[in-house]
Amino acid sequence: MELSLATRAVAGHTVLEVGGEVDVYTAPRLRQLLLEVHESGARHVVVDLGRVDFLDSTGLGVLVGALKRLRAAGGTFRLVCSREPLLKIFRITALDQVFPLYDSVESAIAADPDAASAQ
């Protein structure tokens, strides 16, 4: 399935909904959108991977890059991921110890109650 990307604002957060396949061919589009979100001044970002059916090392590298940029800027970067195949990818790469992972957008935002007033 082709990559799909959409952003929306929720309670002071920029929520990026990702769907389809994130791989070596499509990951540059995700990287570009994350850069645009960062350059727009958003500092609390939630990436919802709920409709992603394939994620490879290139896609994971893009997500780590976004995490590092936001951390350096004093922001937050959270991932929504509840499907077991994707969770296994995070466990095997030890990236589950790097990313804050949540099972819904609501729980990701609720984990950062101050952000709603910060933006």
Partner 1 sequence: MATVRLSFSPAPVHVRTARLVGVAVARRAGVADELLDEVRLAIGEACTRAVALHNQYGLRDPVEVEMRDDDPYTVRVIDRAPIEASIGLAALPPDELANESLTDEALTTGVGFALLAGFVEDLQVRPVEEGAGTEVRMIWPTRR
Nearer to partner 1, 12 or 23 (CB): 23
> Which range binds partner 1 by CB under 8 A, 11-19, 43-51, 56-64, 110-118?
56-64
Rounded CA separation 71/78 (Å): 11
Helix 57-72 vs helix 27-39: crossing angle, to nearest 10:
10
Residue 95 Cβ, how far from partner 1 at the closest point, in Å? 6
98 touches partner 1 (CB under 8 A): yes
> Of these, 32, 85, 104, 113, which contacts partner 1 (CB under 8 A)?
85
23 φ/ψ angles, rounded to the nearest 5 degrees = -140, -170
Q: Are strands 13-22 and 4-10 parallel, antiparallel or unpaired?
A: antiparallel
**Whole-number Å distance between alpha carbons of 86 and 88:** 5
* Binding-site ranges for partner 1 (CB under 8 A): 21, 23-25, 54, 56-58, 60-61, 64-65, 67-68, 71-72, 85, 89, 92-95, 97-98
